Structure 1
Amino acid sequence: MEINFHGIGLSCFLLLLQFLNRMEARRGLGPGEQDWGYVEVRKGSQMFYWLHYTTANVSAFAERPLVIWLQGGPGIASTGTGCFEQLGAIDIDGKSRESNWVQHVNVLFIDSPVGTGYSYVEPHGRYVENNTQIALDLVTFMKSFLIRHKKFESVPLHIFSESYGGKMAPEFALELHYAKERHELRCNLRSVVVGNPWTSPLDTTLAYAPYLLQLGIVDQDGYASIAAVAAELAASIYAGKWLHAMEQSSKMQEVIATYTGGVFLYNTQRPVRLDDDYRYGEDPQLRDFMLSNVTEALGLTHMPVWMAQNATVFIKLGREILKPAVHIITKLLDETQLRVGVYSGILDLLCATPGTVNWINRMQWRNKHKYMTAPRLPFRINDVLEGYQKEGGRFSMFWVYRAGHLVQQDNPAAMAHILRTITNFG
């Protein structure tokens, strides 16, 4: 934009400057100021973001950290599941969410990878096929975002994620750190946090049989059958047969359903009925809400339709989904000063806590001894035991009671404790 200031008085100039500074803040859906839009991260690949400025009682939004939220899947929309089912200011009934994060921090929802949610790929564009490309797309996005929102350059930045985000977020943080070191952008990145992470798929899968047996959900026959499929899957992973391993992963879920009578993968203690068909991020009610209320409120009716789950995103990443990302976390701990956090709802089967603990115990980094010798402490909220935490060597682990795969939904009080511990907001 080119503006001619010749002949404009000082008072008019100041008013115009204030207007330009406020252009980024708009009213979307829910309380507080917001901003949203697209960034072309590669030719024909458009990434969508939705920024929610904090509604905390502060004189300026920059007094609170900026938290990026990345959803799992891969292919589940942050703007849908994250915003309206987990941590946004309102839910899909339009009611205020008491446990929302916007009351504490600035929250940036990003629909990643491209093709997810409101993000889209034009006919001449390309989907991603590996996690490194996901990370590089997000770095490209951040360069553009921070040009538009320069005040966030100095604000403490934290990346939170869950599920498959346990692979996306660490690599994004690492590439963002590298870009910062190359002086390609300015940001105040402080931490990356993964929740019920799919960081080491093999460790997760090998934990299924013993976890179910110890909970009494399967007997010895069920244990043996599930362990046998896990062994086959492990052999495929060791052989680098990634697509075959994906097929065995689907078989694993079928065997689990057979021997458990259909236990709920995302929370083994949640009551479920025979006709319940829950799919992560694909609630039909959420889809209807996004296509009507949200799309209209954000003025996106002329844009490609919001997608709850883009199967193409998942398929394109088929060879990547079962690969481990533990080495990326090791690099973060050894090559940067970032804090790394892991939290796990102990009732989750899909990314079972024992598997997560196994890869953490096996992971090696320079200051691991500080973590291993640190005490594992209980944390209580209003005198109620909500879980345990262990911190040392810039690494933190949180075990969360009464929660499965979706900790923010199942135990928002514990999740608020984790958010405050990591970001130190307020």
Structure 2
Amino acid sequence: MVLAWRMCSVRLWRLFLSLLLGLNAGSTADWPAEEEGKEAWDYVTVRKDAHMFWWLYYATNPCKNFSELPLVMWLQGGPGGSSTGFGNFEEIGPLDTQLKPRNTTWLQWASLLFVDNPVGTGFSYVNTTDAYAKDLATVASDMMVLLKSFFDRHKEFQTVPFYIFSESYGGKMAAGISLELYKAIQQGAIRCNFSGVALGDSWISPIDSVLSWGPYLYSMSLLDDKGLAEVSGIAEQVLKAIDKGLYKEATQLWGKAEVVIEKNTDGVNFYNILTKSTPSPAMGSGLEFLRSPLVRLCQRHVRHLQGDALSQLMNGPIRKKLKIIPEDCSWGGQASYVFLSMEEDFMKPVISIVDELLEAGVNVTVYNGQLDLIVDTMGQEAWLRRLKWPQLSKFNQLKWKALHTNPKSSETSAFVKSYENLSFYWILRAGHMVPSDQGEMALKMMRLVTEQE
């Protein structure tokens, strides 16, 4: 016990010295494996004219070396939302948008890898418009190039447990990426200790979300009978389009369904039903003249991930810190095109991919915020019930158990159910961005998923 305390004290002192001397500034060079509290970042050219940006933070637990803790990769939604920006400074990174320390940063218990994907997101960029990803297959194959480069370069992480955590459309991408990563590891193409994927408020089955919007809002007293009928009617139109394989039309109808909801709920916020939506800012990129329904969707579901304060931070102090960003590449500048390029793929489900992951033995965690509308918990439960995983009936028979962030408090923070390699977390009092709304519970969940509690 005395030896452990002394080792912890030494690490605390080393961490203090590194902060005092400004050694956390980061660089494009690899940091020595024995150093803690370090950062690294770089670009990987994943295809011709397609360049993906990543940013790594080494874990800073004062009592453990980073090699004793897992590596977590965070994937944002949109598509077009930036992990290095929103996920980092608004949710789980070491600093907030005011560059002040975050008490609930995941960096206490894991090294963090933020990746701006698909290409064109955040600081990632393309040289030609035909280099944008148009489907999940391209998104996944691009990530395989990046992960191979990353683990080849950072061999100190090849044996560290590696988890993919995600949010919103990032969950759909995470599912596809996880399956391809599992295959690449089996084939010996990538060396890493892939240990599981967590799908947060994820766009796994878009139609299940859309069909549940009306009943969910009605149950929360945000729709009356007439409003419920209108929302259910447009949801049925989306279902018919998907059943016919008309995915572009389904995406357009999805946008119309959101307009119907806004009109009937006096502007409910799709990301937290207890708040109200704010008007979408103008997109000053000329895109307002192109496919206006999709542009409005982009304004709602991508622009909120790059608000003025975050954009100023990323294109100001952070851009200056990173130093390697091309002069003509502004953070978030290509996000609208990323969203528009995925139009046909947007409403396609990936339930079958989750089934493949489960049957392959990959640990899959699903988690959802109680107050989320865009990917409400009812919709998540609906697609989960349609899994073909042989153990699903046993999972369904289990009763969930309550979780508390404070052992001394009787207040329930979440519920969880787990069987073999499938877990589901119901996060209370959280909207779409679970770590932003319930930081302590999100951190506790991450530790449970990565087997640290």
- For 1:425 and 1:300, the matched residues in 2 are separated by 35
Q: Please name the residue that 1:17 is paired with.
A: none
Q: Please name the residue that 1:321 is paired with.
A: 346
Q: Is 2:392 aligned against 1:349?
A: no
Q: Is 2:145 aligned against 1:151?
A: no
Q: Does the residue aligned with 1:381 lie in a helix, a strand or coil?
A: coil
Of 66, 69, 77, 2:74 maps to 69
**Are the equivalent residues in 1 in contact too, given 2:269–2:277 (CA < 8 A)?**
no
Q: Please name the residue that 2:412 is paired with.
A: 385
**Are the equivalent residues in 1 in contact too, given 2:72–2:163 (CA < 8 A)?**
yes
Q: Please name the residue that 1:421 is paired with.
A: 448
Q: Does the residue aligned with 1:280 lie in a helix, a strand or coil?
A: helix
Following superposition, the deviation at residue 274 of structure 1 comes to 6.2
Return the TM-score normalized by structure 1: 0.90
1:268-292 CA-to-partner distances (Å, cap 9, x unmatched) read 012x376686743021110011000
Q: Please name the residue that 2:86 is paired with.
A: 81
Return the TM-score normalized by structure 2: 0.85
Of 99, 103, 109, 1:98 maps to 103
1:374-426 CA-to-partner distances (Å, cap 9, x unmatched) read 22111112122101101013100011111010100111121112101101238
Q: Does the residue aligned with 1:50 lie in a helix, a strand or coil?
A: strand
- For 1:162 and 1:341, the matched residues in 2 are separated by 12
143 and 219 in structure 1: CA distance in 2 versus 1, 3 angstrom threshold: same
Q: Which deviates the most, 154-163 or 57-66?
A: 57-66
Q: Please name the residue that 1:404 is paired with.
A: 431
Q: Does the residue aligned with 1:93 lie in a helix, a strand or coil?
A: coil
Q: Please name the residue that 2:319 is paired with.
A: 295
Q: Please name the residue that 2:15 is paired with.
A: none
Q: Does the residue aligned with 2:108 lie in a helix, a strand or coil?
A: coil
Q: Please name the residue that 1:374 is paired with.
A: 398
- For 1:227 and 1:273, the matched residues in 2 are separated by 21
Q: Please name the residue that 1:25 is paired with.
A: 31
When you count helix as a share of all residues, which structure comes out higher?
2
Following superposition, the deviation at residue 248 of structure 1 comes to 0.8
Residue ranges of structure 1 left out of the alignment (5+ in a row)? 1-21
1:176-233 CA-to-partner distances (Å, cap 9, x unmatched) read 0101111112110010001111100000000001111111101000000000000011
Q: Is 2:332 aligned against 1:307?
A: yes
Superposed, which structure 2 residues align to 1:7-22 within 5 Å?
none
- For 1:276 and 1:244, the matched residues in 2 are separated by 23
Q: Please name the residue that 1:51 is paired with.
A: 56
**Are the equivalent residues in 2 in contact too, given 1:116–1:307 (CA < 8 A)?**
yes
Of 326, 349, 363, 2:387 maps to 363
Following superposition, the deviation at residue 23 of structure 1 comes to 4.2
1:17-72 CA-to-partner distances (Å, cap 9, x unmatched) read xxxxx94129xxxx931000001111111110000001112453111100000000
Q: Please name the residue that 2:287 is paired with.
A: none
Of 42, 48, 53, 1:37 maps to 42
Q: Does the residue aligned with 1:385 lie in a helix, a strand or coil?
A: coil
**Are the equivalent residues in 1 in contact too, given 2:171–2:204 (CA < 8 A)?**
yes
Following superposition, the deviation at residue 103 of structure 1 comes to 1.4
Superposed, which structure 2 residues align to 1:193-272 within 5 Å?
193-270=198-275, 272=276
- For 1:199 and 1:423, the matched residues in 2 are separated by 22
**Corresponding letter in the other structure for 1:25:** W
